[in-house]
Amino acid sequence: MKSRGAVKAFAALLLLLCFCGKAAAARDVAVTSPWLSLMVRFVGGIQVRVHPLSGWDPSGRIVRYSRPGRRVPVIAIDLSDAKAFGIKDRQVRFLFAETGTSAPVRGSSFLDPSSLAFIGQRLLGALSSIDPENYAYYQRRLAEFQSRTETTVSVGKRLLKGTQVLDLTGHSGEWIRAAVEKPVRPPDRVLALWEKGQSLETLSIALQVAAQKGWVVVIDPWTPSTVREKTRGIPRLAAIPAPTLDKEMLTVLHDIYLAIWNASGKRVSPAKP
């Protein structure tokens, strides 16, 4: 009987090690983009210790930190991204090859559910090239991230069902459209005029219509300052706060929907993802 118990205990230990990945000290990895740092922190789990090379200030602007240690591998979006941080002649993993055109990933890409899945696959390749022995672990963590992202969107749909939105955000549009039915968003050319301080009378009219119809007006840290100024004091304003590295990425994403829900004035307790 004792031998059977020992065999069962050993089998349970093997399963635990299989789930957790190879038992070893966490690997130090430096990351250029703050959004990417949040993703690496989730997908890397207990196997990775993330050293962000940048973060956000309260206005949502990127703030760069010190350079990584010479022996610390770096994950960057592409070669241009690495050069912008002054990273040369060190072990760098790129999510995308240099194309000579605009970067395939922007800040808004991390707020687009379809882009997140694409970025996640590239991140899996970068992490597993640094630590190939824990590929299966990173693969499971990525699957969990994708599942929880879908759950967060589903919660947002239930939370914001029937909510009418005027979307004046700079980067959050795709994330809002994933959960809100037919949000109203001005054409990009009109937003470009407003950003330059032109045709602001049409913005005033749009805000008046939104107030009359009971719509939630949504702005984020990347909404042009000329537009933000006009929204001061209007009813049902959802001002999405700047993200922070102190929170988990999926919490940051859920908080966008929560900000809209709070501004809508609904009294039903929101569900959590």
How far apart (Å, rounded) are the C-alpha atoms in residues 67 and 48? 18
Lowest pLDDT segment from 12-16, 35-39, 112-116, 183-187: 12-16
Task: Give the rounded percent of residues in the chain with a pLDDT score beyond 70.
Answer: 85
Q: Which tens digits make up the pLDDT trace of 174-199?
A: 999 999 999 999 999 999 999 999 99
Find out whether 138 and 44 touch, Cβ atoms under 8 Å.
yes
How far apart (Å, rounded) are the C-alpha atoms in residues 14 and 31? 32
Domains in the chain (CATH in brackets) are: 20-152 (3.40.50.1980), 160-264 (3.40.50.1980)
pLDDT band at 239 (very low <50, low <70, confident <90, very high): very high
Amino acid identity, position 87:
I
pLDDT greater than 70 at residue 3: no
What Cα–Cα distance (Å) separates residue 200 from each residue in 17, 96, 195?
60, 39, 9
How far apart (Å, rounded) are the C-alpha atoms in residues 128 and 159? 37
How far apart (Å, rounded) are the C-alpha atoms in residues 192 and 200? 11
What Cα–Cα distance (Å) separates residue 108 from each residue in 66, 78, 92, 118?
24, 16, 23, 14
pLDDT band at 25 (very low <50, low <70, confident <90, very high): confident
Find out whether 249 and 39 touch, Cβ atoms under 8 Å.
yes
